[in-house]
Amino acid sequence: MARIIYVEDDDLMGHVVQEVLTQAGHLIGVVPHGTLGFETIAFKKPELVILDLGLPGMTGIEVLKHLRQISSTYMIPILVLTANQSAEAAEQAMGAGANDVMLKPFVPADLIARVADVLSVHGFGNDLIRRDS
Instruction: Evaluate if residue 126 carries a pLDDT over 70.
Output: no
Partnered with residue 80 across adjacent β-strands are: 51, 101
**Mean pLDDT, to the nearest integer, of 3-13?**
98
pLDDT for 131 beyond 50: no
Range of the domain at 128: 3-132
Position 124 scores a pLDDT of 77
Q: What confidence score (pLDDT) does residue 130 get?
A: 34
> Distance (Å, rounded) from C-alpha 84 to C-alpha 89?
7
Q: What is the pLDDT of residues 72-82, one digit of tens each?
A: 999 999 999 99
Question: Does the pLDDT value for residue 128 go beyond 80?
Answer: no
> Mean pLDDT in the chain?
92
- The mean per-residue pLDDT over the stretch 85-107 comes to 95
**Overall number of domains in the chain:** 1
At 84, which CATH number? 3.40.50.2300
Q: Cα 16 to chain center, whole Å?
A: 14
How many Å apart are CA 78 and CA 76, to the nearest integer?
A: 6
**For the whole prediction, is pTM greater than 0.85?**
yes
In the beta sheet, which residues pair with residue 51?
7, 80
pLDDT of residue 132: 35
Helices (H), the chain: 11-23, 34-44, 60-68, 87-96, 108-121, 126-132
